[in-house]
Chain A
Amino acid sequence: MVDFFSQVKYLCPFREGIVMSKVVVSVLGKDRPGIVCKVSSVMARYGCNIEDISQTVLQGEFGGMFVVSLPQGLSQGELSSILEKDLRPEGLQVMCKPLEGEGPGEKQINVEPFVVVSIGRDRVGLIAAISCIMYSYGVNITNLKFINRTSAFPDKTITIYEVDVPEEVRLAEFVESLRKKAQELELDITVQHKRIFEETCRI
C-alpha cells in the first residue's frame, strides 16, 4: 500500500488566520474503482485540503466535483497542470476554476423548497422547456434527477427537480405556467412543498 501522506510536499498549511484561496475541480471519466483515490491522493500530495466533494455516475460515466483549499505557494494554475499531468494518462478529464464567493452586490433572498416532478414519454426538449419556465421565475434548481421506466411508471421518464422558489413568486402562477407547458408536452407535472416528502418518508 502506498503511504501518500509521506509524500506531502507542503507542511501544515492550514494555520488559523491564513486566508486560503479555494478552487473547484471537476473530474470526468469512465467509472471504475480508484478514481477518487487517485484524484484525492494527488491533492493530498500537494497539501490541498478537500472541503467538499460530490460524485455521481450516469450510464457508467463518473463525474466528481471537489472544492479544495490551496496551500500557500500553490496557485490554481499549478494545481491544474499537476492534476492534468497525473490524471490525463488515466483517461480522466479535469477542469479547475476559482471558487466564486458571494459578490458584493448579491443579496440573499428568502426561498422555499419545492419538488417538481414531471412524468411523460421521453422526447427532445422536455427539460429545456420546464427549466426555462423555472428560470423565468427566478427559481433555482438545487438538485435534478432523470429516471427512465420505473415499475410504477413503465414506458415513462420521470424528472425530479428540487427547486428553491423565491418567496415573492406567486406559487399559483408559477404552477399554472408549468402546467400549461406540461400540457403542451403531454407531461404530467406535480409541484409539492419539499416538507411533505421529508416528513412522510423520514422519522
Chain B
Amino acid sequence: MLSEGEVLQLLQMVKNEHLDVRTVTLGVNLFDCISDTASGFTKKIREKLLRVGENFVSICNEVGERFGIEVVNKRIAVSPLAVCGGNFSPLELVEVARTLDNVAAEVEVDFIGGFSALVEKGMTPGDKALIEAIPEALFHTERVCSSVNVASSRAGINMDAVYLMGRCIKEAALLSRERDGISCAKLCVFANIPQDIPFMAGAYLGTGEPDAVINVGVSGPGVVRKAIDRALASTPRLTLGDLSEIIKRTAFKVTRVGEIIGREVASRLGVSFGIVDLSLAPTPNVGDSVGEIFQSLGLKSIGVPGSTALLALLNDAVKKGGAFASSHVGGLSGAFIPVSEDLNIATAVEKGYLSLEKLEAMTSVCSVGLDMIAIPGDVPAETISAIIADEMAIGVINKKTTAVRIIPVPGKGAGEKAYFGGLLGEATICEVAHKGCSGDFIIKGGRIPAPLQSLTN
C-alpha cells in the first residue's frame, strides 16, 4: 500500500516540476558494417540501424506511458565514424552522414550521434577526413551530431587537433550562417570523452561497448529547485549542508526514474542496459532551469561571486544522490550549464551577470564545459582554438570531462541575439575579450604533454 505522500510527491514532480527522462539513447555498434566502398558501408549501416532501431521509439513511448513519465528525446549513438569509416574521403563521409540522417528520420529519433573522431594523441588519415567533412556533414543534415575528443588526462592535449577544430567550427558556422550558425550546436570538442554519453552532441558508442545498448540521461533541475524552495519555506534557517542533503535525496528520485525506464526499454528491445547519466539537464522553459537553482540558493543570478562554489555543491550532491539510485552510472553525470538551452542562464548573460570567463571558471566544477555559448561571428579561428585549449586544460589537469560547444554567429556581434529554436533555445552573444591575441601560441601545434598522475596539489 502506498502512502498518499508518496503518490502525490511523484505526481507533483511530473505535473508541476518538469520531471521527465530527457533522453533514452540506443547505442549501436557499426564495426560489423565496415566495408571497402562507401556505398557498401552505408547500405550495411542502414540495414543494421533499421533492424536494431525499428521499434525503439514506439517502445520508449509505451514504457513512458506505462510509468507516466515522458521520454522526451529518443536518440541513437553509433561507433565513431572516423574509426569504422576511416578508409573514406571527406566527400564519402558526408554521404555517410546523409545516410545516418535519413535512417534517423525513418526510425523517428531526434538526433543521431557518432560522427566522431578520437584524436587526443594523434590523427589518422580517417580522423583528418572526418574532421574535414564535419562542416558539410552538419550543414547537409538535420539530425546528425558530431564530437571530437582532442585531449585526455593520459595523453595530454593534441594542439594540432585543437587548431583544426577552431577552423572547423568557424567553417561550420559560416555554412549555416542563415540559421545563426546552428551547425555548431551539433558539434562538441571534448577532453576525456566518456564512451557512453546519452546526451547530444557528444553521444557516440565507444569501442569497449556492447553491440547494442541503452543509455539514459535524466533531467530534473525543476524538481531540485522546487525541493529546495519547499525546504526553505518550511525551515528558513537551513544550512548549505542541509540543502546539499535535500538535493541528494531529490537526485536519487530523479535518477531512479531513469533507471527504471532504461531497464524496461532495454529489456523490451532485447539489448543490454548500459548506464544512467546523472545529469541536471535544463530546457529553455521557465521552471526547468539550472540557473534558477542558483537563485533559490541565495545568489542574485548565476555568474555572480559564489557561483562556482554553489555549482560545486550542486554537482557533488547530484552525483552522490544519483550514484546511490543507479546500478551503473556513466556519461557526463553532473549539472549542465548550457547557455542558450537554459532560459535563466541565457538571461544572466543578457543582463551581464555571466561572462565567458566566469563560465570557464565554473566549468572546472560542473559536469561538462563551455556549452551552447554564442560568440561574435568575427572571432578568429585561432581564438576559438585557444578557448578550446583552455577548456581542455581544465579537463586534462582535473581528470574530468570538459567540452566546448561554441557558436560563432556569422554577421552578429556581442549583445545581439542568436536564435536556434526548440531545445537549443536562443542566447545573447557573449563578448570575447582580447580576440586575435592567441594565434602565435595556437599555430605552434604539437602536443601539450599529459600531466603527472601524482603530486596532485
Contacts and interface: CB of A to CB of B under 8 A. Distances in A.
Interface in B4-57: 4, 6-12, 14-16
For chain A, the bracket of interface size reads: 20 to 34
A48 B257 CA distance: 46
User: For chain B, what secondary structure do more than half of its interface residues adopt (helix, strand, loop), or is it mixed?
Assistant: helix
B8 A150 contact: yes
Given A115-B2, A190-B68, A192-B68, A197 B7 contact: yes
B449 to A, nearest CB: 45
A196 B253 contact: no
Contacts of B259: 199
A109 interface: no
A158 B8 contact: yes
B7 A200 contact: no
Contacts of A79: none
Nearest to A150: B8
B66 A197 contact: no
A157 to B, nearest CB: 12
A199 B7 contact: no
Interface in A102-158: 115, 117, 119, 143, 145, 147, 150, 152-153, 158
B242 to A, nearest CB: 20
B226 to A, nearest CB: 10
A201 B10 contact: yes
Interface in A150-203: 150, 152-153, 158, 160, 162, 171-172, 175, 188, 190-202
Contacts of B10: 192, 196-197, 200-201
A160 B4 contact: yes
Given A190-B11, A195-B260, A201 B66 contact: no
A130 B422 CA distance: 37
A200 B257 contact: yes
Given A143-B1, A198-B2, 9 more contacts: A152-B16, A162-B2, A190-B11, A190-B14, A196-B69, A196-B260, A200-B257, A201-B2, A202-B6
Interface of A: 115, 117, 119, 143, 145, 147, 150, 152-153, 158, 160, 162, 171-172, 175, 188, 190-202
11 contacts: A117-B7, A143-B1, A152-B8, A175-B65, A190-B14, A190-B68, A195-B260, A197-B7, A199-B256, A200-B10, A201-B253
